[in-house]
Amino acid sequence: MGTTAQLGYLGLEVSDLGAWRRFATEALGLEVGALRPGGALPLRMDGHQHRFLLHEGPANDVAYIGWELADGAALEVLCGRLDRARVPFRAGTATEAAERGVKQLIHFVDPNGIRVEICHGPSMGAVPFRPGKIRSGFHTGDQGMGHVLINARDCAETERFYRDVLSFALTDYVHSEAPDRPLHAVFLHVNPRHHSLAFAELPLSKRLHHFMLEANSVDDVGAAFYRCQDLGVPLQRGLGRHQNDRMLSFYGYTPSGFCFEIGWGGRVIDDRHWEVKTYPGASEWGHRPLAPA
Ligand SMILES: [Fe+2]
């Protein structure tokens, strides 16, 4: 995908828009925009006009993942790769591009049945983003909006698809054979962020396990951890630091039942010196389970 790609936006199908409005503002510190003509609710976290689009519906899962490329030429190169790999894709309509707030997009379905959109030319907000509950703001820019961990149907097939067809770069693996918590997770990057996409075969019915948003200050992570408890947001894992991306974070449940992670201090990758490793566990310390995954 090149190193100028980023996780651009996430489309979520949620059954309770009202709960999400409060959760997004009060817990995550996002800015809720005006409902779009198609009925989607935009959430903003940086200069982009939005980074989330919420669609009302029963799935309570990811609806699509949007990857942003530098320009139309990069999108054309990617279309060539899809053609050569015989992955059927379609051009987004003008209505879809307007709703997503991008100049152009294409879309296809990944091996997990997730709709993937590749775009360029995002609309930026008319006024600068003003941080709310996450007072230091979010670490985005060329590292994109954060990362997602998806529940893969077949980890090996998903790895092949994202690395070989879409040219995501391998970061590392977490492989644990602990009887209580066996895990094989794959971490991929498309820019200096340690990973923008991770996946594992999880005992979940949803395709999305969590999305991660990175604050600019560690204090915002601690404050969010306690704020979520005050708000009654169910937490999944307490504060801890991951071994591979060094992210200091905690996990909680969104109103749709999949998780969010709020972190700080994520590792940055320089591809020239990167050595792929396999880690025996996910966390260096903490991340103690507070509720079932
Ligand atoms: Fe994460």
252 C-alpha to ligand 1 centroid (Å): 11
Q: What is the pLDDT of residue 3?
A: 56
32 C-alpha to ligand 1 centroid (Å): 23
Q: Are 142 and 196 in contact (CB under 8 A)?
A: no
- pTM > 0.95: yes
3-state secondary structure of 4: coil
4 — pLDDT class (breaks 50, 70, 90): confident
207 C-alpha to ligand 1 centroid (Å): 14
Query: How many alpha carbons fall within 13 Å on the CB side of residue 22?
Result: 10
Q: What is the pLDDT of residue 2?
A: 59
What single DSSP character describes residue 168?
P
75 C-alpha to ligand 1 centroid (Å): 27
Dump the DSSP string for 16-49: -HHHHHHIIIIIS--EE-PPPTTSPEEEE-SSBS
**pLDDT tens-digit series, residues 190-237:** 999 999 999 999 999 999 999 999 999 999 999 999 999 999 999 999
